[in-house]
Every structure is written in C-alpha cells, then in structure tokens.
C-alpha cells in the first residue's frame, strides 16, 4: 500500500504543470502566425497588435475549455472562404469568452465559428464610427436645418 501511495505522489511531481498554448500571451505588434490555444489560455491583442493569418483559423480554440480572448486590434484570415476559414475557431469549445473592441474578420466565412460550442460569451464594444457620424449628422440637420448644416460643412471644409 505504501508503494502505491509513493508512486502516486511521485507521479504528481513527474507530470509537471499543464502546458499553456500559443494563446496564453499578449500580441502588441503585427503577426502572421496562427495561434493554437490550450485550456484556460488568455489572449490579449492590444490596439497596436494584429493577427493576419493567410490560412484557416487565425486563432484555433477548437475543443478547448476556458479560453479568454480580448481583442482591441485586428484578428483576421485573408484566405478565400472555400475551405471554411474563420478568424476565431471556437467550434466544440466550452466556456469561450471573446471581448472585442477592435476588428474580427474572415475574408469570406465566419468571424467566429461556434458550431457545437457551449457556454459562450461574446461582448462587442466596437462603435460603428460611420453609423455614429450619420446619426450625429441627422441630429444636426433635424435641429438646425439642412441649409445651416451645409453652410457649416462648407465653412469647415474651406477654412485654411
């Protein structure tokens, strides 16, 4: 019985800690490499960072548990969509969390692929700047009239 307990204790020391995947990092510059995640990885792409991968799945979190991705930069695939490319492949993942205030883009297919994934949280904080500009323009036109708006734009445009 003592030998069994000794073997179990030694087994814990010999096994070592679980290895983190490529996604357990922070990206603060441009990279063109695919990141393959492992359970409990935490990836941050800063506003200066980008992942532009020319194949399928810039970030592969398929069949992993507890992945957290925070994107303030750009995550994209640039390959054509004939092979089912995705910027983030979370297929069959569990407890995947994506917080985005940047750009997530697949040239032709999925931005985030979540087929058969469970317990997913996606928060998109990015403001559509063009839609916001149109809304502000509409409010100005409604408040002050079209003529006043055009006059203001012409003054700003031709100001030296």
Could you report the per-residue pLDDT of 46-82, keeping only the tens digit for each?
A: 999 999 998 889 999 999 999 999 999 999 988 765 6
Confidence band (pLDDT; 50, 70, 90) for 18? Answer: very low
Residues 55 and 133 in one domain: no
Answer yes or no: is 6 within a domain.
no
* Beta-strand runs (E) in 5-143: 25-27, 30-31, 35-36, 42-45, 50-53, 59-60, 68-71, 74-77, 86-89, 97-100, 103-106, 110-113, 121-124
Residues 73 and 141 in one domain: no
For residue 43, give the nearest of 20, 23, 29, 61 by alpha carbon. 23
Residues 109 and 144 in one domain: no
Answer yes or no: is 2 within a domain.
no
User: 20-34, 57-71, 77-91, 93-107: which has the minimum mean pLDDT?
Assistant: 77-91
Copy the structure tokens of residue 8.
């179990």
What is the value of pTM for the model shown? Answer: 0.68
Residues 53 and 115 in one domain: yes
**Mean pLDDT along residues 138-150:** 64
Answer yes or no: is 5 within a domain.
no
Q: What domain range is 39 assigned to?
A: 11-126
User: How many domains is the chain partitioned into structurally?
Assistant: 2
Mean pLDDT, all residues of the chain: 78
Residues 137 and 110 in one domain: no
């Amino acid at each position: 019985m003592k030998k069994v307990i000794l073997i179990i204790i030694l087994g814990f020391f010999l096994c070592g800690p679980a290895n983190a995947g490529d996604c357990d990092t922070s990206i603060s510059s441009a990279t063109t490499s695919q990141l393959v995640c492992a359970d409990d990885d935490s990836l941050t792409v800063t506003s200066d960072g980008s992942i532009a991968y020319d194949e399928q799945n810039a970030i592969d979190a398929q069949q992993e548990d507890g992945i957290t991705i925070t994107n303030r930069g750009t995550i994209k695939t640039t390959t054509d969509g004939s092979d089912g490319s995705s910027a983030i492949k979370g297929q069959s993942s569990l407890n995947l969390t994506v917080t985005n205030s940047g750009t997530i883009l697949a040239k032709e297919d999925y931005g985030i692929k979540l087929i058969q994934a469970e317990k997913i949280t996606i928060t998109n904080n990015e403001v559509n700047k063009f839609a916001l500009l149109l809304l502000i323009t509409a409010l100005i036109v409604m408040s002050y009239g079209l003529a006043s708006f055009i006059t203001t734009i012409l003054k700003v445009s031709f100001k030296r």
